[in-house]
Each structure stands twice: as C-alpha cells, then as structure tokens.
Structure 1
Amino acid sequence: MLLILSVVAGLILTLAPSPIQAYVRFPDLPDTYVNDLAKVLDYPQREQVRSELQAFHQRTNQQVLLVTIPSYRDYSNQHPSFEAFATDLFNHRGVGSRWRNDGVMMLVPPGDRKVRIQLGSAYGSGWNPRMQTVIDRYMLPDFRRGQMAQGIMNGVRALLNELGTHQLTTSGSTVPSTSTYASTPAGNIITGIFIVIIIVGLIILIPFIIVFAIVKFIFNLFSGNRPQPQYRSRPSYYDDDDRYRSYSSYDDSYSSRSDDEGGHSSGGGASGSW
C-alpha cells in the first residue's frame, strides 16, 4: 500500500503544471528614430520615416521614436496593462531630453492589435486628447484595413504636425534656465561706461601693437632671423578616411543615443486597438 501511494504521489508531482516564471525584459532599441523590430515597414518606408523624424529633431530639438514589436507579452508577463509596459519601456530607453522631458514614443505591437503614443512628463494632460485624435483619425482606419505600414506613416506625419502646431508649455519641465538681464536706467549707464572704456582701450592699444610689429620686423630683417616657413605635417591615413571620424547623433541617425537623451514619462499619452 505504501509503495502504491508513493507511486501515485510521484505521478501527481510529475504531471502537475509548473508555476509560470515571471519575466520582464525590454527590447534593445539602438536606433535614435526607428526600431522596426516587427518588420512592419519595408526599407524605403523605414528610411522615409527615419528621415522625417530626424529632420523634425534637428528643427525642434524634440526626439520622436517609433518602435514596433511583435507583442509586448513577448517581453513581460508582469505588467498589468499595455500602457504600463509602454511607460516603462519609454523610461528604460530614456526617450527625449533628460532636461526637458519632451520626448515622444509611438509603440505598435501588431500581435496585440494595439498602438500607443507615449508622452514625456513635460506634456500636460491637454495633450492626451490630441494624441488620441492622431490614433483614431490617422492610424486605426488603415490598421483595420490591414494596411499597417500606411497607418504608421500617416500617424507619424500627423503626430509631427500636431507637435509642430502646438507649443509645449508646462510648469513641470526641469529645463535649466538662465536669468535674463533686466534693462534699467542704471544698467544702461553701466553698460555705456563699459563700452566707452573698451573703445578707449582699443584706441590706445592698437598703435602700440602696430609699432611693436614694425620694430620686430626691422629687427628680424637686420639680424638675419627671418621667419621660417611652417610646414604642416602630412595628414595621417585616419585623417583622410571618413570611416574613422566620429559623428554626433545628428550626423548619423543610426547612433545608439545622444548625450542629452534620458527623458522620463509619467504615463501620459493615448492608446488604441483594432
């Protein structure tokens, strides 16, 4: 009887389902503008979107990052919602400026049939309805027709237009500010005196410089110490080869991240599903 009970207990332990292991990991997002891990866009479309995002970044200093992944559940089974995963992914990647927190991330996991526009913490709650309009009007209609790439491209353009149309103003931004000099009568008098001193100093100093240069030239001429021509050393191989030059993130859109990246999101944005 004991032998039978031992065998039955062993079978129960062997066949019982093992507890699900918890996991949270985030995808590697090396590109500054487009990380199409789900392969939604073809090469020309990907380069077109990257070009538009890079041009916007250079013009406004705001980073917009496009990310596609097959499913967010491939990376986490601990996040209570898609929105929570998007917020943590934004903060893990550090989208946008660490000082202004003005970055924006568009996340599309086709396997989950969801889309999220995640905003940096500098954007107020008034931006959430604008992002919802971008999703509902310019992305979801194409997604429902199965035109994923077209929906993403339309959404990116509508998003950039929305960001460029409305000025970002918030009291929560931690941008280092510099104090401006207030113009007052006393300040104008001090500024005028300072300018006069500079002009008088230049008038006195310039003749001395000219006389000194003439005397030095005559001395070198009669003493035989003529200035020797300077020869520039031959440039090395690495100076002539562009492959060994370093580029900033503005020169190379494929760089991992710029020094100013590291923005934070408080969870603002909008979502959609189809």
Structure 2
Amino acid sequence: MTALISRILLCLLLVCSFAGEARADAGPAVVQAGRVTDEAGLFTVEQKRVLSEKLERLEQSTRHQMVVVTVSSLGGAEIGPFTTALGNEWGIGRKGHNDGVVLLVAPQEQLAQISVGVGLEAVLPDELCQSIMNERMIPRFREGDLFGGVDAGVDALIERLD
C-alpha cells in the first residue's frame, strides 16, 4: 500500500513538473509582422522602418536573421523561454544553422531579452547579450526612450555580427 501511494505521489510530482515547463513557454499569442513586430505599440511608423531596414541589411550581408518584438505583457510567461519559443515558432534563423536572434521587450513587466540561436552562441554569448542590455539598452529605457534603447541594442548586435 505504501509503495502504491509513493508511486501515485511520484506520478503527480512528474505531471506537475511538466505542467510547469509547459507554462514557461505560455504567453501572449504573437503574430509575426515582419522584422519588427510591435504589438505593444511602442514605435512610430518611421522608427519601425529604421529598425526594419537595419535588420534587412544585416540579413543581406551576413544571412543571419534578427527580429525585434514588443509585447504589452508576457501574460505570466517567463521572458527567456517565451522569447526562445517565439524564435523557434517563427523559424528565425536559417534551417540547419540555427543562427537567429530575437530581441524582445515587454514594457508592462519592464523586461527585455535577447535570445540567440545555438549557431550564434559563440559570437553572441549570454554574457555579451546581457552586457548589451545593461550598457546600451537599459540606460535609455530608464530615461523613457524605449526606441533608443532597442535601436542601440540592435546596433550593438549588428556590430558584433558584421
């Protein structure tokens, strides 16, 4: 009887842990709108054009794909897994190379994330991406300049990838 209860508890524990993993990727449904998907409405038409042109030039010169995404809220999702899942769902980066980059901003939670495909991790390691956010993006965000922060982050990433 004790063995049966132990097995039931173990099964419940496993089910709960898988449910937690599934929730990590859950979040708002975001439909890709090109290289810049501004669901939070942070950017002007001109700002989106400027970012899109930079990202297009990057892709033409290096073949690496990068997208910028804003969402009003993550809806309870964790930003890291959500950003990675979004990049995978959208197929950012070349198949077989996994060389895409997703820069995501969630203003309601005051969070940003740079997720990099495995094929670019040597060029854009996590420490460098965090440094770009800390030194180039966050200071501008704190001044209320969300576009300036994203633009500076995109420029820093492009400098590294070119």
TM-score range, shorter chain: 0.7 to 0.9
2:29 aligned partner: 26
SS in 2 for 1:116: strand
Aligned counterparts of 1:52 and 1:63: Cα–Cα separation in 2: 11
Identity %: 28
Q: CA deviation at 1:24?
A: 5.0
Q: Which is bigger in relative contact order (C-alpha 8 A, separation at least 6)?
A: 1
The answer as to whether partners of 1:130 and 1:162 remain within 8 angstroms in 2 is: no
Report the residue type matching 2:69 in the other structure: V
Find the aligned partners of 2:115 and 2:89 in 1 and give their Cα distance: 13
8 A contact 2:51–2:151 mirrored in 1:
yes
1:28 to partner: Cα distance = 0.6
Which consecutive unaligned segments of at least 5 residues does structure 1 have?
1-21, 165-274
- What is the count of residue pairs matched by the alignment? 137
1:120 aligned residue: 117
Amino acid paired to 1:112: E
Contact 2:84 2:102 in 1 (8 A): no
SS of 1:139 mapped into structure 2: helix
**How far has the Cα of 1:95 moved from its partner?**
0.8
Give the drift of 1:30. 3.2
Query: Is 1:108 aligned to residue 110 of structure 2?
Result: no
Cα deviations by residue, 1:80-110 (Å, 9 ceiling, x for unpaired): x221211211211111111210000000011
* 1:85 corresponds to 2:82: yes
Q: Whole-Å Cα distance in 2 between the matches of residues 93 and 59 of structure 1?
A: 21
CA distance in 2, matches of 1:87, 1:130: 17
How much does 1:59 deviate? Answer: 0.7
The residue that corresponds to 1:156 in the other structure is: 154
CA contact (8 A) 2:42 2:147 kept: yes
Whole-angstrom CA distance in 1 between matches of 2:58 and 2:132: 17
CA distance in 2 between counterparts of 1:46 and 1:124 reads: 26
Matched, 1:56 2:58: yes
What residue number does 1:135 align with? 133
Determine the structure 1 residue equivalent to 2:15.
none
Q: Are 2:44 and 1:42 equivalent residues in the alignment?
A: yes
TM-score (normalizing by structure 1): 0.47
| Alpha-carbon distance in structure 2 between the residues aligned to 1:158 and 1:109 | 20
For structure 2, the 5+ residue unaligned runs are 1-22
Looking at structure 1, the residues matched to 49 and 27 of structure 2 have their Cα atoms a distance apart, in angstroms, of: 30
**Normalized against structure 2, the TM-score is what?**
0.78
**RMSD of aligned Cα (Å):** 1.8
Runs of 4+ more than 6 Å apart: none
Separation in structure 1 between the aligned mates of residue 43 and residue 103 of structure 2, nearest angstrom: 14
Structure with the largest fraction of strand = 2
- The whole-number CA distance in structure 2 between the counterparts of 1:123 and 1:63 is 11
TM superposition shift of 1:25: 5.0
Q: CA deviation at 1:123?
A: 2.9
Higher fraction of helix: 2
2:28–2:74 Cα contact (<8 Å) kept:
no
Distance 2:92 2:57 in 1: 17
In structure 2, distance between residues paired with 1:145 and 1:135: 14
- Cα gap change, 1:132 to 1:27, in 2 (>3 Å): same
Q: Which has the larger radius of gyration?
A: 1
TM superposition shift of 1:26: 2.5
